[in-house]
Structure 1
Protein backbone atom coordinates (compact mmCIF):
# COMPACT_ATOMS: atom_id res chain seq x y z
CA UNK A 1 0.00 0.00 0.00
CA UNK A 2 2.86 2.37 0.83
CA UNK A 3 4.28 1.89 -2.65
CA UNK A 4 0.95 2.69 -4.31
CA UNK A 5 0.60 5.84 -2.24
CA UNK A 6 4.12 6.97 -3.11
CA UNK A 7 3.35 6.75 -6.83
CA UNK A 8 0.17 8.83 -6.62
CA UNK A 9 1.86 12.22 -6.10
CA UNK A 10 4.25 11.46 -8.96
CA UNK A 11 1.25 10.88 -11.18
CA UNK A 12 0.15 14.41 -10.32
CA UNK A 13 3.44 15.78 -11.68
CA UNK A 14 1.80 15.78 -15.11
CA UNK A 15 -0.92 18.09 -13.80
CA UNK A 16 1.76 20.31 -12.23
CA UNK A 17 3.63 20.53 -15.54
CA UNK A 18 0.45 21.17 -17.52
CA UNK A 19 -0.49 24.02 -15.18
CA UNK A 20 2.96 25.54 -15.61
CA UNK A 21 2.71 25.25 -19.39
CA UNK A 22 -0.60 27.15 -19.34
CA UNK A 23 1.06 29.94 -17.37
CA UNK A 24 3.80 30.08 -19.99
CA UNK A 25 1.36 30.10 -22.88
CA UNK A 26 2.71 33.10 -24.77
CA UNK A 27 4.88 32.25 -27.78
CA UNK A 28 7.62 34.83 -28.29
CA UNK A 29 10.40 34.34 -30.81
CA UNK A 30 13.65 32.92 -29.49
CA UNK A 31 15.13 35.41 -27.05
CA UNK A 32 17.96 33.53 -25.35
CA UNK A 33 18.77 34.60 -21.82
CA UNK A 34 20.75 33.10 -18.95
CA UNK A 35 18.57 32.48 -15.91
CA UNK A 36 20.38 32.25 -12.57
CA UNK A 37 18.42 30.11 -10.14
CA UNK A 38 20.66 30.38 -7.11
CA UNK A 39 18.00 28.93 -4.79
CA UNK A 40 17.86 25.80 -6.96
CA UNK A 41 21.62 25.70 -7.53
CA UNK A 42 21.84 26.12 -11.32
CA UNK A 43 22.05 28.48 -14.25
CA UNK A 44 20.26 27.74 -17.52
CA UNK A 45 19.91 29.27 -20.98
CA UNK A 46 16.22 29.70 -21.80
CA UNK A 47 14.87 30.88 -25.20
CA UNK A 48 12.53 33.32 -23.43
CA UNK A 49 11.60 34.47 -19.93
CA UNK A 50 10.39 31.42 -17.99
CA UNK A 51 7.54 31.32 -15.51
CA UNK A 52 8.38 29.86 -12.11
CA UNK A 53 6.15 27.68 -9.93
CA UNK A 54 6.99 26.31 -6.50
CA UNK A 55 5.19 23.56 -4.62
CA UNK A 56 5.76 20.85 -2.04
CA UNK A 57 5.60 17.27 -3.28
CA UNK A 58 4.06 14.74 -0.86
CA UNK A 59 6.24 11.62 -0.99
CA UNK A 60 6.41 8.77 1.55
CA UNK A 61 4.77 10.90 4.26
CA UNK A 62 7.21 13.75 3.69
CA UNK A 63 7.06 17.16 2.02
CA UNK A 64 9.71 17.64 -0.66
CA UNK A 65 10.27 21.08 -2.24
CA UNK A 66 9.87 21.17 -6.03
CA UNK A 67 10.34 24.06 -8.43
CA UNK A 68 9.53 24.31 -12.12
CA UNK A 69 10.75 26.97 -14.55
CA UNK A 70 9.18 26.74 -18.00
CA UNK A 71 8.65 28.78 -21.15
CA UNK A 72 6.55 28.02 -24.24
CA UNK A 73 7.99 28.99 -27.63
CA UNK A 74 5.59 28.19 -30.48
CA UNK A 75 5.24 24.37 -30.47
CA UNK A 76 7.87 23.77 -27.78
CA UNK A 77 7.94 23.91 -23.98
CA UNK A 78 11.38 24.22 -22.40
CA UNK A 79 11.44 23.35 -18.71
CA UNK A 80 13.70 22.66 -15.75
CA UNK A 81 12.13 20.84 -12.81
CA UNK A 82 14.05 20.77 -9.52
CA UNK A 83 13.47 18.58 -6.48
CA UNK A 84 15.46 19.30 -3.33
CA UNK A 85 16.20 16.61 -0.76
CA UNK A 86 17.65 17.47 2.65
CA UNK A 87 20.39 15.34 4.20
CA UNK A 88 17.65 13.51 6.14
CA UNK A 89 15.83 12.73 2.87
CA UNK A 90 18.78 11.84 0.63
CA UNK A 91 18.16 8.11 1.02
CA UNK A 92 14.95 8.69 -0.98
CA UNK A 93 16.88 9.93 -4.03
CA UNK A 94 17.45 6.65 -5.97
CA UNK A 95 13.84 5.45 -5.66
CA UNK A 96 12.37 8.88 -6.30
CA UNK A 97 14.49 9.30 -9.44
CA UNK A 98 13.51 5.83 -10.64
CA UNK A 99 9.82 6.62 -10.22
CA UNK A 100 10.16 9.98 -11.99
CA UNK A 101 11.83 8.23 -14.91
CA UNK A 102 9.37 5.33 -15.03
CA UNK A 103 6.39 7.70 -14.91
CA UNK A 104 7.56 9.69 -17.94
CA UNK A 105 9.14 6.89 -19.96
CA UNK A 106 6.10 4.71 -19.35
CA UNK A 107 3.91 7.30 -21.11
CA UNK A 108 6.03 6.67 -24.20
CA UNK A 109 5.80 2.90 -23.78
CA UNK A 110 9.52 2.48 -23.07
CA UNK A 111 11.91 2.18 -20.13
CA UNK A 112 15.53 3.17 -19.47
CA UNK A 113 16.75 0.11 -21.37
CA UNK A 114 14.51 0.34 -24.46
CA UNK A 115 14.21 4.12 -24.92
CA UNK A 116 16.25 5.83 -27.65
CA UNK A 117 19.05 7.49 -25.73
CA UNK A 118 22.41 9.15 -26.12
CA UNK A 119 25.34 9.32 -23.71
CA UNK A 120 26.52 12.86 -23.15
CA UNK A 121 28.08 15.20 -20.58
CA UNK A 122 26.99 18.32 -18.74
CA UNK A 123 29.20 21.05 -17.36
CA UNK A 124 29.01 22.16 -13.74
CA UNK A 125 29.59 25.73 -12.59
CA UNK A 126 33.19 24.81 -11.71
CA UNK A 127 33.71 23.33 -15.21
CA UNK A 128 33.67 19.65 -14.32
CA UNK A 129 32.05 17.41 -16.97
CA UNK A 130 30.13 14.52 -15.38
CA UNK A 131 28.38 12.00 -17.64
CA UNK A 132 24.65 12.20 -18.41
CA UNK A 133 22.13 10.51 -20.68
CA UNK A 134 19.49 12.10 -22.90
CA UNK A 135 16.30 10.24 -23.78
CA UNK A 136 14.32 10.90 -26.97
CA UNK A 137 10.66 10.01 -26.54
CA UNK A 138 7.71 9.79 -28.90
CA UNK A 139 4.43 9.61 -27.02
CA UNK A 140 1.40 7.66 -28.14
CA UNK A 141 -0.65 9.54 -30.71
CA UNK A 142 -3.93 11.15 -29.68
CA UNK A 143 -4.99 11.55 -33.31
CA UNK A 144 -5.15 15.34 -33.11
CA UNK A 145 -1.58 16.07 -32.05
CA UNK A 146 1.76 14.30 -31.83
CA UNK A 147 4.10 14.81 -28.89
CA UNK A 148 7.80 14.12 -28.55
CA UNK A 149 10.38 15.02 -25.94
CA UNK A 150 14.05 15.18 -25.15
CA UNK A 151 14.71 14.74 -21.44
CA UNK A 152 17.72 14.50 -19.13
CA UNK A 153 17.92 13.75 -15.40
CA UNK A 154 20.81 14.93 -13.24
CA UNK A 155 21.36 14.20 -9.54
CA UNK A 156 23.80 16.36 -7.57
CA UNK A 157 24.84 16.07 -3.93
CA UNK A 158 24.80 19.42 -2.11
CA UNK A 159 27.56 20.69 0.25
CA UNK A 160 25.30 19.99 3.25
CA UNK A 161 24.86 16.34 2.13
CA UNK A 162 21.42 16.82 0.64
CA UNK A 163 20.69 16.38 -3.07
CA UNK A 164 19.17 18.07 -6.11
CA UNK A 165 17.30 16.08 -8.75
CA UNK A 166 17.01 18.05 -12.00
CA UNK A 167 14.80 17.19 -14.96
CA UNK A 168 15.57 19.15 -18.14
CA UNK A 169 13.14 18.67 -20.99
CA UNK A 170 11.77 20.09 -24.21
CA UNK A 171 8.27 18.93 -25.17
CA UNK A 172 7.25 19.37 -28.81
CA UNK A 173 3.53 19.28 -29.69
CA UNK A 174 2.43 19.55 -33.32
CA UNK A 175 0.06 17.91 -35.85
CA UNK A 176 2.86 15.90 -37.50
CA UNK A 177 5.17 13.40 -35.80
CA UNK A 178 8.89 14.09 -35.86
CA UNK A 179 11.96 11.88 -35.55
CA UNK A 180 12.73 12.83 -31.94
CA UNK A 181 16.46 12.16 -31.99
CA UNK A 182 17.06 14.07 -35.22
CA UNK A 183 14.63 16.88 -34.39
CA UNK A 184 16.00 17.62 -30.92
CA UNK A 185 19.60 17.63 -32.15
CA UNK A 186 18.98 21.02 -33.78
CA UNK A 187 20.88 23.96 -32.29
CA UNK A 188 17.86 25.56 -30.59
CA UNK A 189 17.44 22.46 -28.44
CA UNK A 190 21.09 21.55 -27.99
CA UNK A 191 21.79 25.05 -26.63
CA UNK A 192 19.24 24.55 -23.88
CA UNK A 193 20.77 21.26 -22.75
CA UNK A 194 24.41 22.27 -23.23
CA UNK A 195 24.07 25.50 -21.25
CA UNK A 196 22.49 24.03 -18.15
CA UNK A 197 25.09 24.32 -15.38
CA UNK A 198 24.39 23.04 -11.86
CA UNK A 199 26.63 24.21 -9.03
Structure 2
Protein backbone atom coordinates (compact mmCIF):
# COMPACT_ATOMS: atom_id res chain seq x y z
CA UNK A 1 0.00 0.00 0.00
CA UNK A 2 1.47 3.30 -1.07
CA UNK A 3 1.71 5.91 1.67
CA UNK A 4 2.38 9.58 0.97
CA UNK A 5 3.52 12.44 3.20
CA UNK A 6 4.20 14.92 0.43
CA UNK A 7 1.94 17.54 1.98
CA UNK A 8 4.48 18.00 4.77
CA UNK A 9 7.20 20.11 3.15
CA UNK A 10 8.21 22.87 5.50
CA UNK A 11 11.34 24.77 4.55
CA UNK A 12 14.45 24.09 6.61
CA UNK A 13 13.59 21.67 9.42
CA UNK A 14 11.34 18.69 8.66
CA UNK A 15 10.58 15.24 9.93
CA UNK A 16 8.66 13.31 7.30
CA UNK A 17 6.73 11.34 9.85
CA UNK A 18 4.80 14.58 10.27
CA UNK A 19 3.89 14.06 13.91
CA UNK A 20 6.39 15.47 16.33
CA UNK A 21 9.03 18.16 16.50
CA UNK A 22 12.35 18.82 18.10
CA UNK A 23 13.33 22.38 17.32
CA UNK A 24 16.37 22.15 19.56
CA UNK A 25 19.73 21.03 18.21
CA UNK A 26 18.71 22.07 14.67
CA UNK A 27 17.27 18.62 13.98
CA UNK A 28 15.11 17.68 11.02
CA UNK A 29 12.89 15.42 13.09
CA UNK A 30 9.49 17.08 13.22
CA UNK A 31 7.37 19.21 10.89
CA UNK A 32 5.82 21.67 13.34
CA UNK A 33 8.94 23.60 14.32
CA UNK A 34 7.56 27.03 13.53
CA UNK A 35 4.40 26.51 15.58
CA UNK A 36 6.48 25.31 18.53
CA UNK A 37 8.79 28.31 18.31
CA UNK A 38 5.84 30.72 18.25
CA UNK A 39 4.45 29.01 21.34
CA UNK A 40 7.78 29.25 23.16
CA UNK A 41 8.22 32.90 22.17
CA UNK A 42 4.79 33.89 23.46
CA UNK A 43 5.38 32.09 26.74
CA UNK A 44 8.75 33.76 27.23
CA UNK A 45 7.51 37.26 26.44
CA UNK A 46 4.51 36.98 28.77
CA UNK A 47 6.64 35.78 31.68
CA UNK A 48 4.23 32.90 32.18
CA UNK A 49 7.01 30.32 32.00
CA UNK A 50 8.88 28.64 29.16
CA UNK A 51 8.87 25.20 27.67
CA UNK A 52 12.31 24.72 29.14
CA UNK A 53 12.70 25.86 32.75
CA UNK A 54 16.20 26.50 34.04
CA UNK A 55 17.78 28.38 36.89
CA UNK A 56 21.18 29.95 37.43
CA UNK A 57 23.03 28.62 40.47
CA UNK A 58 25.69 30.62 42.31
CA UNK A 59 28.95 28.73 42.70
CA UNK A 60 30.20 28.40 46.25
CA UNK A 61 33.73 29.44 45.36
CA UNK A 62 32.87 32.58 43.43
CA UNK A 63 30.34 34.53 41.51
CA UNK A 64 30.28 32.20 38.54
CA UNK A 65 26.85 30.99 37.45
CA UNK A 66 26.18 27.40 36.49
CA UNK A 67 23.07 26.36 34.57
CA UNK A 68 20.99 23.86 36.49
CA UNK A 69 19.13 21.04 34.81
CA UNK A 70 15.66 21.93 33.56
CA UNK A 71 12.87 20.61 35.74
CA UNK A 72 9.98 18.37 34.85
CA UNK A 73 6.74 20.16 35.61
CA UNK A 74 4.32 17.29 35.12
CA UNK A 75 0.64 18.01 34.56
CA UNK A 76 -2.25 15.88 33.29
CA UNK A 77 -3.61 16.98 29.92
CA UNK A 78 -7.03 15.68 28.89
CA UNK A 79 -7.72 15.86 25.17
CA UNK A 80 -11.43 15.19 24.94
CA UNK A 81 -11.59 15.94 21.21
CA UNK A 82 -9.05 13.21 20.41
CA UNK A 83 -10.04 10.83 23.18
CA UNK A 84 -7.00 10.52 25.42
CA UNK A 85 -5.27 11.89 28.49
CA UNK A 86 -1.57 12.00 29.30
CA UNK A 87 0.93 13.54 31.71
CA UNK A 88 3.28 16.03 30.04
CA UNK A 89 6.38 17.61 31.63
CA UNK A 90 5.59 21.18 30.49
CA UNK A 91 2.76 23.18 29.00
CA UNK A 92 2.17 21.67 25.56
CA UNK A 93 1.94 23.31 22.16
CA UNK A 94 -0.77 22.15 19.78
CA UNK A 95 -1.09 21.80 16.04
CA UNK A 96 -3.34 20.19 13.47
CA UNK A 97 -2.73 19.37 9.81
CA UNK A 98 -4.12 17.38 6.90
CA UNK A 99 -2.09 14.39 5.72
CA UNK A 100 -2.55 11.75 3.04
CA UNK A 101 -2.45 8.04 3.85
CA UNK A 102 -2.90 5.58 0.99
CA UNK A 103 -4.51 8.31 -1.08
CA UNK A 104 -7.02 9.27 1.61
CA UNK A 105 -6.85 12.70 3.32
CA UNK A 106 -6.93 12.47 7.11
CA UNK A 107 -6.65 14.95 9.97
CA UNK A 108 -3.62 14.78 12.24
CA UNK A 109 -3.55 16.51 15.63
CA UNK A 110 -0.70 16.69 18.10
CA UNK A 111 0.43 17.96 21.48
CA UNK A 112 4.12 18.53 22.27
CA UNK A 113 6.07 19.40 25.40
CA UNK A 114 9.81 19.67 25.98
CA UNK A 115 11.87 19.21 29.13
CA UNK A 116 15.55 18.55 29.73
CA UNK A 117 16.32 18.65 25.98
CA UNK A 118 13.79 15.89 25.35
CA UNK A 119 10.53 16.08 23.42
CA UNK A 120 7.39 14.34 24.69
CA UNK A 121 4.58 14.18 22.13
CA UNK A 122 1.22 12.59 21.49
CA UNK A 123 -0.30 12.60 18.03
CA UNK A 124 -3.58 11.25 16.75
CA UNK A 125 -4.89 10.59 13.26
CA UNK A 126 -8.65 10.77 12.72
CA UNK A 127 -9.61 7.96 10.36
CA UNK A 128 -12.50 7.96 7.89
CA UNK A 129 -13.82 4.78 9.52
CA UNK A 130 -12.94 2.20 12.15
CA UNK A 131 -12.28 -0.44 9.49
CA UNK A 132 -9.36 -2.61 10.68
CA UNK A 133 -7.69 -2.29 7.28
CA UNK A 134 -7.73 1.50 7.56
CA UNK A 135 -6.34 1.26 11.09
CA UNK A 136 -3.50 -0.99 9.91
CA UNK A 137 -2.62 1.37 7.06
CA UNK A 138 -2.34 4.31 9.47
CA UNK A 139 -0.28 2.31 11.96
CA UNK A 140 2.10 1.22 9.20
CA UNK A 141 2.38 4.84 8.04
CA UNK A 142 3.54 5.90 11.49
CA UNK A 143 5.83 2.92 12.06
CA UNK A 144 7.50 3.24 8.66
CA UNK A 145 7.98 6.98 9.08
CA UNK A 146 9.82 6.53 12.37
CA UNK A 147 12.10 3.83 11.00
CA UNK A 148 12.87 5.76 7.82
CA UNK A 149 13.71 9.02 9.49
CA UNK A 150 15.93 7.53 12.17
CA UNK A 151 17.40 5.04 9.74
CA UNK A 152 16.90 2.24 12.23
CA UNK A 153 14.99 -0.97 12.71
CA UNK A 154 13.11 -0.76 16.00
CA UNK A 155 13.17 -3.09 18.94
CA UNK A 156 9.42 -3.73 18.90
CA UNK A 157 7.03 -5.81 20.96
CA UNK A 158 3.37 -5.96 21.88
CA UNK A 159 2.12 -3.94 24.83
CA UNK A 160 -1.16 -2.96 26.46
CA UNK A 161 -2.51 0.59 26.45
CA UNK A 162 -4.79 1.39 29.41
CA UNK A 163 -8.31 2.76 29.05
CA UNK A 164 -9.54 5.55 31.30
CA UNK A 165 -12.64 3.54 32.21
CA UNK A 166 -10.59 0.43 33.03
CA UNK A 167 -9.28 -2.36 30.87
CA UNK A 168 -6.68 -2.28 28.13
CA UNK A 169 -6.31 -2.45 24.37
CA UNK A 170 -3.39 -3.98 22.44
CA UNK A 171 -0.69 -1.71 21.09
CA UNK A 172 2.92 -1.73 19.91
CA UNK A 173 5.92 -0.49 21.88
CA UNK A 174 9.08 0.41 19.98
CA UNK A 175 12.54 1.75 20.77
CA UNK A 176 14.69 3.32 18.05
CA UNK A 177 18.33 4.36 18.17
CA UNK A 178 19.63 6.11 15.07
CA UNK A 179 20.86 9.33 13.56
CA UNK A 180 18.89 12.22 12.11
CA UNK A 181 19.29 15.72 10.81
CA UNK A 182 21.83 17.36 8.54
CA UNK A 183 24.61 16.54 11.01
CA UNK A 184 23.43 12.97 11.55
CA UNK A 185 23.30 13.41 15.30
CA UNK A 186 22.35 10.42 17.46
CA UNK A 187 18.75 10.20 18.64
CA UNK A 188 16.86 7.73 20.81
CA UNK A 189 13.10 7.39 20.55
CA UNK A 190 10.59 5.45 22.60
CA UNK A 191 7.16 5.16 21.00
CA UNK A 192 3.84 3.46 21.46
CA UNK A 193 1.31 3.00 18.67
CA UNK A 194 -2.32 2.00 19.11
CA UNK A 195 -5.58 2.06 17.16
CA UNK A 196 -8.96 2.55 18.79
CA UNK A 197 -12.16 3.24 16.88
CA UNK A 198 -11.65 6.02 14.37
CA UNK A 199 -8.30 7.10 15.79
CA UNK A 200 -4.72 5.91 15.61
CA UNK A 201 -2.39 7.26 18.29
CA UNK A 202 1.32 7.64 18.70
CA UNK A 203 2.96 8.60 21.98
CA UNK A 204 6.69 9.27 21.74
CA UNK A 205 9.75 10.49 23.61
CA UNK A 206 12.76 11.58 21.61
CA UNK A 207 16.08 13.16 22.49
CA UNK A 208 19.83 12.92 22.20
CA UNK A 209 19.85 10.87 25.41
CA UNK A 210 17.39 8.82 27.39
CA UNK A 211 15.48 10.53 30.19
CA UNK A 212 15.55 8.89 33.61
CA UNK A 213 13.42 5.71 33.70
CA UNK A 214 10.92 7.33 36.06
CA UNK A 215 10.28 10.11 33.53
CA UNK A 216 9.68 7.59 30.75
CA UNK A 217 7.33 5.61 33.00
CA UNK A 218 5.45 8.75 34.03
CA UNK A 219 4.67 9.58 30.43
CA UNK A 220 3.74 6.17 29.10
CA UNK A 221 1.88 4.89 32.15
CA UNK A 222 -0.27 8.02 32.18
CA UNK A 223 -1.23 7.71 28.50
CA UNK A 224 -4.84 6.48 28.56
CA UNK A 225 -7.56 6.27 25.92
CA UNK A 226 -11.21 7.09 26.41
The one of 89, 97, 114 aligned to 2:139: 97
Give the alignment of 1:12-27 within 5 angstroms: 13=18, 15-23=30-38, 26-27=51-52
Displaced runs of 4 or more, over 4 A:
88-91, 141-144
The structure with the largest helix share of the pair is 1
Q: Are 2:50 and 1:8 aligned?
A: no
Aligned position for 2:178: 139
The one of 199, 205, 212 aligned to 1:170: 205
Q: TM-score, normalised by structure 2?
A: 0.69
Q: Is the deviation greater in 23-32 or in 44-53?
A: 23-32
RMSD: 2.7
Aligned position for 1:186: 213
Q: Distance in 2 between matches of 1:120 and 1:88?
A: 21
Q: Is the 8 A contact 1:184 1:190 kept in 2?
A: no
Aligned position for 1:150: 190
Q: Distance in 1 between matches of 2:158 and 2:131?
A: 28
| Higher Cα radius of gyration | 2
Q: Is the 8 A contact 2:162 2:169 kept in 1?
A: yes
3-state DSSP of counterpart to 1:139: strand
Q: Is the deviation greater in 134-143 or in 26-35?
A: 134-143
Paired residues, number: 181
Q: Is the deviation greater in 31-40 or in 145-154?
A: 145-154
What is the CA distance between 1:57 and its match in structure 2? 1.6
3-state DSSP of counterpart to 2:179: coil
Q: Where in structure 1 are there 5+ consecutive unaligned residues?
A: 158-162
- The higher-RCO structure (CA 8 Å, 6+ apart) is 1
Q: TM-score, normalised by structure 1?
A: 0.77
